[in-house]
Structure 1
Amino acid sequence: MLQILYLAQDLADPAVRRRTLALISGGARITLAGFRRSDNPLAAIEGVMSVALGKTADGRFLQRIGAVAGACLSLNRKLGHLRKPDVIIARNLEMLAVARRAAALFGGDVPIVYECLDIHRLMLRDDMIGRALRAAEGSLGRDARLLITSSPAFVEHYFRPLSHLEATPILIENKVLEISDAKEAAHGTGIYPPRATPWKIGWFGALRCSKSLALLAEFSRKMEGRFEIVLRGRPARSEFDDFEGFVQLEPFMHFGGAYRNPEDLLEIYGGVHFTWAIDFFEEGQNSAWLLPNRLYEGCRYGRVPIAMRGTETARFLSARNIGLVLEEASAEGLAALVGAMTPDRFTDAAARIEQCHATTWVFNRADCEVLVQRLAALTREPHAFAPASAMTAPRHNARHNESGMP
């Protein structure tokens, strides 16, 4: 059984839990180690050993550098007693530094995989700071054998033209993890709230975009109760002055707290009509390039996604002739897009999503097994890199549901 040491930037991150579950379902044995930014009991995984390397704070870059340095110094004490892993996965740049130290601790011949699902704005700066960070990424990742990323736009706009990494990229989209041994279910639930007012827009997951919050609040007030906004997930406290206080003052906006992913997805998406698949957090950069979890989750349950024009998400929807695209980032623009929604128009939009094959949205047990097999192959492959200019990732094609894995 493949032994994987998974180094995570935030042990409480639901996405870390989801990836760990996928690796276990694929047949790997996982040891999880990393930093804590907050307590999240919903992120716990039964039977998985977790090693805390320290505590970091969201948005405090210098503090995180210090925490990484401290973790590297204490790694022998915290991980030295573990069985030697076959593969080390480093999620995010800070964990790449820890991965190099861990590989050396275990003899220096353990393959490293770099998992990068967001491109921080600091990495894109055209100044000394940006160049230094990209150089550091290239240096820390010079021994990385694979690069796991979630959107082809990340390769197109960052890893190919800017990054110094030479690891082979593979695309693993942020699909819904479904590892049941039962036969694959139909991907739509067929159950919605009443298809009339109030229409409900769900914004779920990592809530970090203050512009989205303000826009949705203004829109719901403008619609005078014909639309309601339902929020679920983990608000990024560093991005909001008072998230709960703001929501409590909004008459048509509700926050239902955190949830388990994937266990609670049917329940939360079953209560809305539309998915807010827009993020202005790093507008024009990471937010324009990513393909968010909520895109796949909402479509998995037949909810109609709303994307922003000019983004990778909008291109994804356009290739499949589904969803709604917002032309202008304003309450007025959103009102023009959905304000006159009718049951017939909604039924048509939902039906087009139902026509997509479930594998467009779902990462199943077979996908998990293919991923683990690809990681296991690293232990048998010669240590050779593809040139950076050869970095490619598949573009989206409505007729081809690519796994992204060789």
Structure 2
Amino acid sequence: MTLRVLYLAHDLADPAIRRRVLMLRAGGAEVMLAGFRRDENALAAVEGIQPIELGTTSDGQFVQRAVSVVKASLLVKSKLGHLPRPDVIIARNLEMLSVAYRARHIFGSPVPMVYECLDIHRLMLRKDVIGSALRSLEGRFSRDASLLITSSPAFVEHYFKPLSDVDLPVMLLENKVLDLEDNHGAASVSQSPPTPEQPWKIGWFGALRCAKSLKLLSDFTRAMEGRVVVDMRGRPAHGEFDDFDALIAREPYISFHGAYRNPEDLADIYSQIHFVWAIDFYEEGQNSSWLLPNRLYEGCRHGGIPIALKGTETAHYLNRKAIGFEIGDASVAALTSLFETMTTERCLQAVEHLNGQDPRNFTLNKGDCETFVARLSALPAPHSRATMARQKPAHSSSGPATVPTPKTSATKVDVHDG
């Protein structure tokens, strides 16, 4: 029987939402999509799916988003009640978890819920009454859920295990490249190392929300006088910059090339650069230090050499696999030191190290999608989860595993076997 999924999205224009919908459909699920919209992005549309819009929200406008969520929660029956009963509801981020909490009973009997949290907002980490209240709400809304999906073990280690009130089995679903053609060849790079007259190219792709990165790269490329340039692609969070377009226009060595389709355009855009900017200071010392970004996996899969900041989870990932480059601090001097010593031979050796990796480290194929959907199909009904939590979990030699609870373990889990 086909699994019917209601996916509640925090931002219908987010390419990551499209990628998750594609993954669910590739796994054999029927997907109904509903959520908020922050802006227009035609490249985030999924053929054959007409999303239900619950309202409009804005980046960085927490109060406005909270009001929109309350309104959507009150109107959930009129907005979603006409849909066929889903077999599972996936709620992306806390705001959608609150909507799912209200929606789970409108289909006749409670529907299993999944909480998908791929970022830890700084408000959740506050040690005052605001942070405490938000964590309490998160715990309350997740109490009848059956599974937590997150993308980095550091989120479990630094937030869900020690701070959060969420008490759920955990599935680690990394931000890997969706490879539905199962094209697991060796990583490759079409862009050859530059001649002495040509610049090195750094690609900064995806969610562009870090003003500190832009300032650092601006100062660095100017200091290098064009020997290193930066190509930016993706969705700028305009609220995080003082006139993003004007800033880019003033930079002689930084270019913005707009949005792209993920995964369809990845091979092309990564073939045009040598290095991947896998550094983020958006929530420095917190979420930015713990995440494993999409561009990390995309670059490694397509031959772009990642550059990470020492001490972050991204740097730990690169160190474990002996790939990429690390800078010791966020300074022009550190970047200059890296590129003043960069040679064709050193670049080719770094690409060779990427080629030596198992491509499955960076990709999810159709079989992984099917395993993911099978895991969702096996979720217990809400009323039985508390009973199951008291039972000792069975162990299996294959298939998707879960961590019994983030309060007791932060073990890494993948959706694929082996």
The answer to whether the aligner puts 1:392 opposite 2:410 as a matched pair is: yes
CA RMSD of aligned residues (A): 1.5
1:340 Cα deviation after fit: 2.5
Query: Shift in Å at residue 332 of structure 1?
Result: 1.2
Deviation at 1:184, TM superposition (A): 2.6
Whether contact under 8 Å (1:164, 1:388) holds in the other structure is no
Tell me the alpha carbon deviations over residues 290-332 of structure 1, each in whole angstroms, 9 at most, x when there is no partner: 0000000000011110000000000000001111001010111
Which structure 1 residue ranges, 4+ long, deviate > 6 Å from structure 2? none
Q: Could you give the per-residue CA deviations for residues 207-263 of structure 1, whole angstroms, max 9, x where no partner exists?
A: 000000000111111111111100000000110011111111111110000111111
Displacement of 1:5: 0.2
How far does residue 120 in structure 1 lie from its aligned partner after superposition?
A: 0.3
Partner of 2:239: 238
- Which residue identity lines up with residue 130 of structure 2 in the other structure? I
1:141 matched to 2:159? The reply is: no
What is the aligned counterpart of 2:385 among 369, 383, 386?
383
Classify 1:388/1:199 alpha carbon distance in 2 versus 1 (closer, same or farther; 3 Å): closer
TM-score in terms of structure 2 length: 0.92
Which residue in 1 is equivalent to 2:308?
307
Moved more, 73-82 or 139-148: 73-82
Shift of 1:72: 1.2
List per-residue Cα deviations over 1:110-143 (Å, max 9, x = no partner): 0000000000000001111111110110011111
Question: Residues 191 and 62 of structure 1: is their aligned pair in 2 closer, same or farther, counting only changes over 3 Å?
Answer: same
Task: Quickly say closer, same or farther: Cα 1:365–1:221, change in 2 above 3 A.
Answer: same
Structure 1 residue 188: Cα displacement: 1.8
Aligned to 2:276: 275
- Whether the aligned pair in 1 keeps the contact of 2:155 and 2:291 (CA below 8 Å) is yes
Question: 1:158: which partner in 2?
Answer: 159
Q: For the Cα contact (< 8 Å) 1:172–1:405, is it kept in 2?
A: no
Shift of 1:267: 1.0
Shift of 1:390: 2.5
Residue pairs, 1:184-223, within 5 angstroms: 184-196=183-195, 197-223=198-224
Corresponding residue for 2:398?
A: none
**Matched position secondary structure for 1:389:** coil
Asked whether the equivalents of residues 187 and 303 of structure 2 are also in contact (C-alpha less than 8 Å), the reply is yes
How far, CA to CA, are the matches of 2:189 and 2:324 in structure 1?
17
Task: Compute the displacement of 1:189 (Å).
Answer: 2.8
Count of aligned residue pairs for this structure pair: 398
Aligned pairs for 1:12-23 (under 5 A) are 12-23=13-24
Contact 1:215 1:330 in 2 (8 A): yes
Quote the Cα distance in structure 2 between the aligned partners of 1:144 and 1:220: 48
SS of 1:49's equivalent?
A: coil
**Structure 2 CA distance for aligned equivalents of residues 279 and 339 of structure 1:** 23
Q: Secondary structure at the match of 1:316?
A: helix
- Which runs of no fewer than 5 residues in structure 1 stay unpaired? 396-401
Query: What secondary structure does 1:254 align onto?
Result: strand
User: Is the Cα–Cα contact under 8 Å of residues 207 and 234 in structure 2 kept in the other structure?
Assistant: yes
Residue 338 of structure 1: how far off its partner (Å):
2.0
Distance 1:194 1:311 in 2: 28
Structure 2: segments with no counterpart, 5+ residues: 390-403
Q: What does the per-residue CA deviation read over 1:141-174, in whole Å, with 9 as the maximum and x for residues that have no partner?
A: 1111100000000000000000001111110000
**Aligned position for 1:70:** 71
| Code of the aligned partner of 2:385 | H
CA distance in 2, matches of 1:287, 1:190: 27
> Aligned AA for 1:191?
S
Conserved 8 A contact 1:118-1:286: yes
